[in-house]
Structure 1
C-alpha cells in the first residue's frame, strides 16, 4: 500500500495565544515508526511515520503541557505505539485505545495502568468496518467498570441512527470533531440543532477542534468558528480541544498547528472558557487519577 505524504506542517508558527498552564491537547495521534510498530494489515491508508518524539516536540513548540493520544485506524487494534508513548511520559499523557471486543480483562487493566482512559468506536465507514452496535454496547459496559468513557467518531448523516445507541451507553461519551457538521448549512441548521439536542444529555462531551476537516472556505477556518463557539459557550463543562496532529487523511492542505492554537480564543471568547476548555475539563476526564 502506498505511503501517504506527511500531512502536518513542517514549520508551524509559534502561536500568539499563550495557553494556560496545564493546557491539554486532547486529540492527537502517534504513527509508528512502522519498522517498530507495524501498521495494521487491514488499514485503509498508510501514513508517514509520526512518532512520539515529534508529538512531544510539537507540544513544547505550541506552549501546551499535556496530550491525550488517540489510537488511529491505521494501527487497528494493536495499541503498542500508543502504550509506548504513554509510558514514555506518564505524568503528561493519557490515551484512548481501540480494542477487540473480546479483549481480556487483564489487558484492559494493563492499559488502565499505562494511562488509557477510554476506547474509541469509529463509525466512519470510509476509514473502518464498524462493529455491530450490540457488540460495541457490550464493550462500553465492560470499560465503564474501569471508570473509562467511550469516544465516538461518526458523520453527521449517521447521527439519527446512532443517537439511541449513544444515549443508552452506561458511561460518558466523547464525540469527535463536533459530529462533523456540514458547515455550509450554518449554525442554525436543523442538522446542527439535532446534534445540540444530543449534547443536552449530561453524559455527552464534544471535541471542538479540527476546523481544517470541516471547513469549506479553508484557512483560517472562519466558517467553522461559529459551530465551535456555540458548543463552548453552551456546554462549557463538557468541551475539549485538540490539534488532531499529524492530521491523517488531509488532502487539501497542511494545517498549521500554530494557527489552530491561535483560533482557541475565538471559540472560547473569555479567559474562564479557555481555562475550562484546555485545563479544567480534560483534567477532570483524563488526569484526575
Structure 2
C-alpha cells in the first residue's frame, strides 16, 4: 500500500461556490487522478474538498461510492449539517472535517466557533480535523481545537510565512501542541509555504511528532498552481528529504493506513 494523503478532483459539472477565491482553469476528474496514481505506483488516495466547491461535497462522495477500496475523503461542511448526513458520509469513507482558513473568505472566529458541536461529534466518531492555515493564526487554532479531544492534521507543513510570521509563532504553537499526541503533519504542498527553505520545518515536525504522526502527500493537481511540476517531482523531493526507506514506508504506507482507516 502506498497512499497519497492529499489530492483533489472535480469536473466542470460541479457547483462552484460564489465564495470561491479563484476559479480553476480546467476540470480534473477522478479518473485522471487515479490514472496518475497508477502510473506512479500509488494504490490509495485521500480526496480533499477544494475551496472553490464550498460545502458541496457531492462529487467527492460520488467518487467514494465508485472507488470505495481506493479512496477516503475530508469534507467541508456548514454549521447546520445534521448528524444523519455525517453518519452517511462516514459509511462512504469520509474520515475528516476540513477547515480552510486561507482560501476561504470566512474569518477565523466564524470558521472555528460555528462548528463546535461538529468537533465533539468528530472526536467521538474517530474523525480528525484537518486544518489549512498559515502563520501565527495557528496559535489560536490549536488553542481552540485541542480541548475538544480531536486529532488535528496540519496541512502543508502548517504553511509557515516569513512575511507575516517572521518569528514562527504559528510553527512553535504547532510544535507545542504536538506534545498532546493528537497532532499529525502532512509533508505536502512543499511549494506553498512562504519560507526560503521548508526542510528545517520538516525536521522539527519529525522531532515533535515522531515517525508515527507524519504522512506524505502530493497535493495533486496543485490547485491555483496548475502545471507547476510533474507528479514524480513530489515523490523525488520527498525522497531527498527522507533518505531512510523505513521512514518513507511509515509516511507513505503505515501512518496513512492508520489515520485514514484504510
Per the TM superposition, whether the score is higher than 0.5 is: yes
Structure 1 contact 73–128 (Cα < 8 Å) conserved: no
User: Which residue in 2 is equivalent to 1:195?
Assistant: 174
Structure 1 contact 207–239 (Cα < 8 Å) conserved: yes
User: Which residue in 1 is equivalent to 2:49?
Assistant: 71
Give the C-alpha shift of residue 46 in structure 1: 1.2
* Counterparts of 2:170 and 2:150, CA distance in 1: 25
The alpha-carbon distance between structure 1 residues 184 and 267, as it changes in their structure 2 partners (threshold 3 A), is: farther
Task: Name the SS of the counterpart of 2:185 in structure 1.
Answer: strand
User: Which residue in 2 is equivalent to 1:279?
Assistant: 253
1:168 aligns to 2:147 (yes or no)? yes
1:155-234 matches, cutoff 5 A: 155-182=134-161, 192-214=171-193, 223-234=197-208
Q: Which runs of 4+ in 1 moved over 6 A?
A: none
More RCO (CA 8 Å, sep 6+): 1
1:9-158 matches, cutoff 5 A: 22-31=1-10, 33-35=11-13, 37-47=14-24, 48-124=26-102, 126-130=103-107, 131-158=110-137
Equivalent pairs, count = 258
The correspondence for 1:250, drawn from 225, 232, 242, is 225
The alpha-carbon distance between structure 1 residues 92 and 207, as it changes in their structure 2 partners (threshold 3 A), is: same
Task: Name the SS of the counterpart of 1:101 in structure 2.
Answer: coil
Q: Can you list the C-alpha shifts for 1:141-189, whole angstroms capped at 9, x where unaligned?
A: 122232211111111121222231132232111111111113699xx96
- Compute the RMSD of aligned alpha carbons: 2.4
Please, what TM-score do these two structures have when normalized by structure 2?
0.89
Q: Can you list the C-alpha shifts for 1:75-124, whole angstroms capped at 9, x where unaligned?
A: 11010111111112111100001111221222111111111001101122
The alpha-carbon distance between structure 1 residues 110 and 190, as it changes in their structure 2 partners (threshold 3 A), is: closer
Q: Can you list the C-alpha shifts for 1:117-142, whole angstroms capped at 9, x where unaligned?
A: 01101122x53314343323221112
In structure 2, stretches of 5+ residues that fail to align are none
The alpha-carbon distance between structure 1 residues 134 and 203, as it changes in their structure 2 partners (threshold 3 A), is: same
Give the C-alpha shift of residue 215 in structure 1: 5.8
